[in-house]
Structures are given as structure tokens and as C-alpha cells.
Amino acid sequence: MKTFEIPDFYKSPLIAAIKRNRKLEDKLKKDFTATKLDFGPIEIHLARHFGFCYGVENAIEIAFRTVNENPGKRIFLLSEMIHNPQVNADLQEHGVRFIMDTKGKHFISWDELRSDDIVIIPAFGTTLATEEKLVSLGIDPVKYNTTCPFVEKVWNRSEQIGKKDYTIIIHGKPDHEETRATFSHSNLHASSLVIKDIDEARKLEKYLLGDSDPQLFYQEFKGQYSEGFDIEKDLQRIGVVNQTTMLASDTQAIADYLKNIISQKGADTFADTRDTLCYATNDNQSAVSGMLLEEADLAIVVGGYNSSNTSHLVELCEQKLPTYYIENESKLISDQRILHFEMHHQHEIETNHYLPKKSKIKILMTSGASCPDAIVEAVIYKLLSFFPEAKSIKDVTSTIEQNK
């Protein structure tokens, strides 16, 4: 797989050594057990896969190269490059300005842009309407496009099934940038509908089978269907694709459920879709499942609070043990106090006594696909600072290097 040039300040000697060693031991990526780092009084089990994925590294390389190759030019990002606050802040420090937030609210109006400006498309992609707007302003929307190839794969899959007269059902978060982009591209080829979870799939069942007033559909799924959506015609044949960062098990459950319902109408009513989650999402979720086979006291998940793929790793961990979702090491205030994101109510809270009082504490740890390895290393350093008698990072790194 291609390697990318990313800034050194995102890298971690410790994490690089761990990943290199695991890759040598498990070239086919069949072993999803965690990596044990035994520091004595604290033991950290790192997930087999975590951190920057192909699409994120690709986007970061393009963005920083764009900055370096265009001194003196005004450079803009449509919105956040990826869902990591440090990476977005770093780009802003390099003079990159954001045109809008992740919900589409403008910080800078289109009228302020000039034809000689550079606009970078984020890793999530963008809508066709936005691309057309940039073109109308004389700005090339392709030259500095960092859209993840795996997102584009979903668009291609949507096009394939759309051209065969299947309505496209998108499993995703309706207000997420990637889902909005996918919806825009899929709607170019077929009627489209976004459903966010299995509950909405169950709601859709009554319309698929004609068991409910069709007009109620337009109220129940308001804002989630394409213009001109005709429930009488557009729910006869369907196919399912997804936002690449959703839980694989959820997407599969939705696809199986809808296939079972629509198949009652006859053959060829459900498109032969393949799972469109990216490899990194699958690997990271499988690695968390493998990590959770370890007995531990708590889990720490590191990543941006608006990161979809990270939130799903948190969901998996929460099923088994106390889980703390943090952006970076600064959230570890002490060995007694932690600031962490309460995902279900969307706000940060403080928890006391998060580390148990015992002779050996076991922590499971992972991070999202947009989280730099340097932040994970910093979290480990911060945890170790609470245990003066713990072995050093250098000692553990040396041991890993010797075992290569």
C-alpha cells in the first residue's frame, strides 16, 4: 500500500515500533489480539489497529503539500479536513482558512472568494452543488481534492446500482459531511434515502410492504430522501450502501433486514451490494473486538469528539467496561480526575476516581482513524507520569525493537 509524507509531529517512535513489529508478525492481519505494554503498576493493551488510515494520511499529505507549494496564495478548506481538532488547528496555523463548519454554516461567504484562490476538498468529499459553485467562481474543485478513495468507492457503487434502477438506501448519519456528499452523488443516478439505524429500517418496512399511508413517509423521513422521491415507485427495488465509518455489524443488520422484507415482493428486488465500509473501519472495529477479549479495568478511546468512526469504537468498548473518550492527554487531569466526552448527551464531563486503587491497573486503549499516533503516545506518557515507579517508554520500546 502507498506510503505518505506526513509531518513528523504526528508520528510516534513508540507506536511506530509497535505497528512495525505487529506487521512483521502478522502480515495477513489475521491476529486481532491487543499489544500488551507492561509498565509494572500499569498495563496498557493497545488495539491491533488504530490511528491514521490511508484516506487520512492521503488528505494530510495533500493539504500540507498544497500549503508548502503555494506561498503567498490564499488557501481555504471547505470545512474540517478530518475530524481531529489538532490536525485542523495545525492547518489553520499554517494559514488555511475554513469556509464553513461541518454542518454547512459559512464562516466565509462565496462572494469573498477569488478565482486565484485555492480551495481544498476535505477527506469526506463534498456535494455536486458545492463543486458546481466552485467551478462558477473559477476555482478548480479537483486539483486539491483530498476525498478518501474509499468514499469514492461508495459513490461508484451507488452509481452501479442506480443505473440498474435500484433506489439507493444509504446507512449513515444524515447531517454528516460524508453522508451528505454520498447522497448528492447517489442522487445523480437514482432516487436516494438516508437511514441512520436499524430502528429507521424497521420504520421503512411498513412502506416497503405498503402497510402504511404513503403520505406519512414524507413526514417520517423528512429531509432524508431525494427530491421527487415517489414512494409508490421508488421502494420496489433497493440496494444498500453506507457512510464508510459506520459500525459494520449495524450496516450488515440493516442490509439483511431490508433484503428479507423487500424479497417478499419477488426476485431482483434487492441489489447484490457488497459492504462498503473501508478497510480501516473494519480493521479498527475488529481490533477493538479482539482487544475486548482481555480482562481490564477500563478503556480509553482517543479521538476527535465529532469523529464518527471513533464514536463507534467507544460504543463497542462501552458494552463491556467503563470507557473514557478523550481528545488528547490534557484531559487526564490527574490519577483521580479525567475530562471525557459523554457521547450520548454530546458534552464533556469530569469523572473522579477513574483509575482504580490497586497494585496493577489494566487499561485497554485505541484511537480513531483521524487521530495522530503522537497523541496516543502522549496519553501513554501522561498515564505513566502518575506512576513514578513504572518502567520507562524507552525500556518498552527497546524490548519491542529487539523482538523485531
Q: Are 15 and 401 in contact, with CB atoms under 8 Å apart?
A: no
Among residues 20, 11, 12, the alpha carbon closest in space to that of 401 is found at: 20
Please, how many CA atoms are within 13 Å of residue 318, restricted to the half-sphere of its CB? Answer: 12
As a whole number of angstroms, the distance between CA 239 and CA 217 comes to 19
As a whole number of angstroms, the distance between CA 184 and CA 360 comes to 52
SS3 label, residue 200: helix
Among residues 181, 185, 170, 156, the alpha carbon closest in space to that of 254 is found at: 170
Which residues are CB-contacts of 88 (< 8 A; sequence separation ≥ 6)?
80, 81, 82, 98
As a whole number of angstroms, the distance between CA 136 and CA 180 comes to 21
Q: How far is CA 394 from the centre of its chain?
A: 31
CA distances from 106 to 14, 97, 111, 123, 393 (A): 40, 12, 11, 18, 44
CA distances from 274 to 160, 198, 215, 270 (A): 12, 18, 32, 12
Longest dimension (CA), the chain: 69
Per-position b or e across 338-364, b if 16+ CB within 10 A of its CB: bebbebeeeeeeeeeebbeeeeebbbb
As a whole number of angstroms, the distance between CA 193 and CA 344 comes to 25
Element (H, E) at 194: strand 192-195
Helix spans in 70-148 (H): 85-93, 128-136
* Type of residue at 155: W
List residues with catalytic annotation: 178
As a whole number of angstroms, the distance between CA 279 and CA 285 comes to 10
Task: State the sign of the Cα–Cα–Cα–Cα dihedral 343, 347, 348, 353.
Answer: negative
Q: Are 151 and 123 in contact, with CB atoms under 8 Å apart?
A: yes
DSSP letter at 352 equals E
